[in-house]
Chains A and B, each alone.
Chain A
Amino acid sequence: MFTIPIPVEPSLENCMRVFERWAAAASFLAASCGIALPAHAHEGMHGHGAKAFELGTSAAVDREGQLWIVEKESIGTDQYVAVQVSPDMGRTWSAPRRVQQSPEPVSADGENRPKIAFGKKGEIYITYTSPLSKPYTGNIRFVRSTDGGKSFSAPLTVHANHDVITHRFDSLIVDGEGRIYVAWIDKRDEEAAKARKQAYAGAAIYYAVSDDGGATFKGDYKIADHSCECCRIALALDPKGRPVAMWRHVFEPNIRDHAMVRLSPDGKVAAPTRVTFDNWHIDACPHQGPALAFGPSGVRHQVWFSVHGDEGGVFYASSASAKPMRLGSAQAEHADVAVHGRDVVLAWRQFDGKSTAIQAKLSDDGGRSWRDAELARTAGASDQPRLLGTASGIVLVWRTQNEGIRTVMTNRR
Chain B
Amino acid sequence: MLKKWMSAMACVLALFALPAHAAPALRPFEADSMARIVAAHKGKPFVLVVWSLDCEYCLNSLDALAREKAKGKLDVVTLSTDPIEDPQAAALMRKKLEAVGMQNNAWAFGEAPPEQLRYAIDPKWHGEMPRSYWFDGHGERTAHSGLITPQMIARFAG
Contacts and interface: CB of A to CB of B under 8 A. Distances in A.
User: Which of A53, A136, A380 has the largest number of chain B CB atoms within 10 A?
Assistant: A53
User: Which of B52, B57, B118, B128 has the largest number of chain A CB atoms within 10 A?
Assistant: B128
Interface stretch (B10-18, B34-42, B119-127, B133-141): B119-127
A330 B123 contact: yes
Nearest to B111: A52
Contacts of A330: 123-124, 126
B32 interface: no
Given A282-B145, A285-B55, A285-B58, A310 B124 contact: yes
Nearest to B51: A285
Contacts of B87: 77
Contacts of B59: 135
Contacts of A4: none
B93 to A, nearest CB: 10
Nearest to A79: B88
Nearest to B125: A312
Interface string B78-117: 0000110111010010000000000000000001011110
A287 B127 contact: yes
B58 A307 contact: no
Contacts of A353: 119, 123
A51 to B, nearest CB: 6
Contacts of B147: 283-284
A284 B128 contact: yes
Contacts of A351: 113, 115-116, 118-119
Given A135-B92, A282-B146, A287 B54 contact: yes
B139 to A, nearest CB: 20
A146 interface: no
Interface size class of A (residues with CB under 8 A): 20 to 34
A333 B55 contact: no
B57 A53 contact: no
Interface size class of B (residues with CB under 8 A): 20 to 34
Nearest to A329: B123
B117 to A, nearest CB: 10
Nearest to A402: B113
A287 B145 CA distance: 13
A94 to B, nearest CB: 28
B130 interface: yes
A305 interface: yes
Interface string B45-65: 000000011111111000000
Contacts of B89: 53
A171 interface: no
B55 A284 contact: yes
B76 interface: no
Contact of B83 (A52, A310, A382): A52
Contacts of B123: 330-331, 353
Nearest to B109: A53
A136 B146 contact: no
Contacts of A407: none
Contacts of A285: 52, 54-58, 128-129
Nearest to A352: B119
A380 to B, nearest CB: 6
Contacts of A336: none
Nearest to B149: A283
B95 to A, nearest CB: 9
Nearest to B95: A135
Contacts of B114: 52, 381
A186 interface: no
Nearest to A168: B54
Given A135-B53, A229-B56, A381-B114, A51 B129 contact: no
B154 to A, nearest CB: 17
Contact of A287 (B92, B115, B129): B129
A288 interface: yes
Given A52-B114, A307-B128, A283 B146 contact: yes
A230 B111 contact: no
Interface of B: 52-59, 82-83, 85-87, 89, 92, 111, 113-116, 118-119, 123-124, 126-131, 145-147
20 contacts: A136-B53, A136-B54, A229-B56, A230-B55, A283-B57, A285-B56, A285-B57, A286-B127, A305-B126, A307-B126, A313-B126, A330-B123, A330-B124, A331-B123, A333-B126, A351-B119, A356-B115, A381-B115, A382-B113, A401-B113
